[in-house]
Amino acid sequence: MIDIGEARAYVLARCPAATAIAVPCREATGLVLATPVVAAEDVPPFANSAVDGYAVVADSVATATDSAPVELPVVGEVAAGAFTDRVLKSGEAIRIMTGAPVPAGADAIVMVEDTERIDNGERVAIRRSTSAGAAVRPRGDDVQAGTALYPAGTLVSPAVAGVLASVNAATVHVIPRVRVAVLSTGDELIDDGSPLQPGQIRESNRTMLLGLVRAASCDAVDFGVVRDDEAELERVLHQAAVECDAIVTSGGVSMGDYDVVKAVLSRIADMRWMQIAIRPAKPFAFGLLGAGGRNVPVFGLPGNPVSSIVSFELLARPALLQMMGHVALDRPLVQAIADGGLPRRPDGKTHYVRVFAKFGADGRVHVASVGSQGSHQLAATSLANAIAVVADGDGVQPGAPVPTMLLSVG
C-alpha cells in the first residue's frame, strides 16, 4: 500500500492547469484569473455625495443648531447621473442626491434629515453644523487607477466580477471550466426504472458523481452506463477523451480478478493501479489517455459508493480544481470536537469517517458519526457534511479533537 500523500502528489503532478481564455467579466464568475488585474480607472471616478441632502461650504454652517438654524439660498440641484457647472459660494446651498457629483466649491454635504425646506425649496434651513469632507466620497476612494487589484489565481466571486466591471476590465483572462466525462460500467446496472431482474442493481454512482463534478464547478458530461463489452467501452472512452478534458469512472479498480474496465484502460491508457493506506477507498486508479495530441486524465474510482465519494474528495476533486487554476485545492480542515468519540481498530490505514458537523455553544465545530460506515452504505453517508480524519490506532475519545474536512456546516 502507498500513503495518500504519495497518491495525491502523483495525480496532481499530471493534472496541470488548462490554457487561459479571454471572457467578458460578466461570464467570469466561478472561474480563476489567469493573469493579474490592475485598475485602469478610479472608483468612484469623481467626488460624489454619500447621502441625499445639500452641498455646502462647511464654514458657512458652522453655527447651525436645532434652535438656531442657518438659512441658505438654494442655487441649484444635481441628481445622480447629472452635473452642474455652478461653482458654489460660501453662504449658498445646492440640492444633491446620493451618488451625484459634488459641485465645485462645495466641501461637505448636509444630509436631508438635518434640514428643512423653506419658501417652496428656494431656501433651506440647516439645523446641524458639519465639517469639511462630511458625506463626500472622494475620487478614487474605493479604487485608484494603477492599483494591483487581484493576482493570478483569484477566484472570481460575484463581488469580484462587480469590481472588474467598475474599473472597466470588460474582458479578463481566466482558466476555463473543465469538461468531465462521467460514466459507469457493468451489465448489472439498471437506470431506466424497469423492474429489477435477479442480479441487477439500480445505478447510483454515476448520478452521485455527476453531482460531485458539478459541485466542483466543472461541466459534467453524462456518458451513461456502458455494458461489459471491451470494444464498446474502448469506443466510449476514446469518445470521452476527444470531447472532454477529464474522465471519471467508478468500479473495476480493485486487485481482484479480470475486469473489463481494467483490461481496456490498461491497454489504451498509461495507468497506475494503486492500493492506498486509507479506509474506505483503498483501491484507486489514475492515468492519462491520449486524444488529439492531449493527455486526458482518467480517474478510476472504486465501485462501492462511499469509497467513490472519498476517492473523489481526496484525489479527483483537488486535481480538477488544479486544472481550473484554483490555488486552494482542499476542503477546509478544522480541529473539531468528537462528541461521543470515534472508535476504531489499528489496521495500518487512515480512516475517513463520515460525520455530521455543527457549531456548538462554545463556538467550536462538533462532529458525530452519521452511523453506519460501510463502504456500500450510501444512505447513512448521504447525511454527512464532513469527514473526520482518524489516524491509525484506537480512535478518538469522546470530547477529544479530531481533524475534520468540512464539506459544509449545518
Q: Return the CATH number at 125.
A: 2.170.190.11
> Does a structural domain hold residue 263?
yes
Could you tell me if 80 and 103 lie in one domain? yes
Whole-number Å distance between alpha carbons of 211 and 390? 26
In 3D, which of 180, 144, 150, 135 has the Cα closest to residue 36? 150
Which of 281, 304, 323 represents a domain boundary (last residue)? 323
Could you tell me if 206 and 349 lie in one domain? no
Whole-number Å distance between alpha carbons of 282 and 7? 11
Could you tell me if 262 and 397 lie in one domain? no
**Which amino acid is located at 399 in the chain?**
G
In the prediction, which pLDDT does 344 show? 95
CA distances from 317 to 186, 216, 329, 374 (A): 24, 7, 8, 22
> Does a structural domain hold residue 119?
yes
> Does a structural domain hold residue 269?
yes
Copy the grid coordinates of residue 271.
495507468
Copy the grid coordinates of residue 195.
423492474
Whole-number Å distance between alpha carbons of 245 and 233? 18
Q: Return the CATH number at 318.
A: 3.40.980.10
Whole-number Å distance between alpha carbons of 372 and 381? 8
For residue 115, the surrounding DSSP H or E stretch is: strand 115-118
Predicted TM-score (pTM) of this structure? 0.90
Could you tell me if 156 and 26 lie in one domain? yes
Which of 159, 175, 191 represents a domain boundary (last residue)? 175
Question: Which residues are paired to 289 by β-bridges?
Answer: 296
Could you tell me if 375 and 251 lie in one domain? no
In the prediction, which pLDDT does 409 show? 65
Could you tell me if 36 and 100 lie in one domain? no
In 3D, which of 258, 259, 257, 261 has the Cα closest to residue 247? 261
Tens digits of residue pLDDT in 287-306: 999 999 999 999 999 988 99
> Does a structural domain hold residue 338?
yes
Could you tell me if 80 and 131 lie in one domain? yes
* Percent residues over pLDDT 70 in the chain: 97
Which of 137, 156, 189 represents a domain boundary (last residue)? 137
392: helix, strand or coil? coil
Tens digits of residue pLDDT in 130-185: 999 999 999 999 999 999 999 999 999 999 999 999 999 999 999 999 999 999 98
Tens digits of residue pLDDT in 9-20: 999 999 999 999
Q: For strand 53-56 and strand 148-150, is the pairing parallel, antiparallel, or unpaired?
A: unpaired
Could you tell me if 169 and 182 lie in one domain? no
Could you tell me if 223 and 310 lie in one domain? yes
Please name the residue that has the C-alpha cell 437506470: 191
For residues 153 and 32, is the Cβ–Cβ distance under 8 A?
yes
Q: What range does the domain containing 364 cover? A: 333-406
361: helix, strand or coil? coil
> How far does the chain reach from its first CA to its final CA, in angstroms?
35
Q: Return the CATH number at 33.
A: 3.90.105.10
Could you tell me if 245 and 294 lie in one domain? yes
Residues 345-350: what's their mean pLDDT?
A: 97
Q: Return the CATH number at 337.
A: 2.40.340.10
User: Cis (ω within 30 of 0) for the bond into 403?
Assistant: no
* pLDDT exceeds cutoff 80 at 392: yes
**Which amino acid is located at 32 in the chain?**
V
Could you tell me if 209 and 319 lie in one domain? yes
Whole-number Å distance between alpha carbons of 187 and 263? 16
> Does a structural domain hold residue 328?
no
Question: Which residues are paired to 6 by β-bridges?
Answer: none
Could you tell me if 186 and 272 lie in one domain? yes
* Tally of domains within the chain: 4
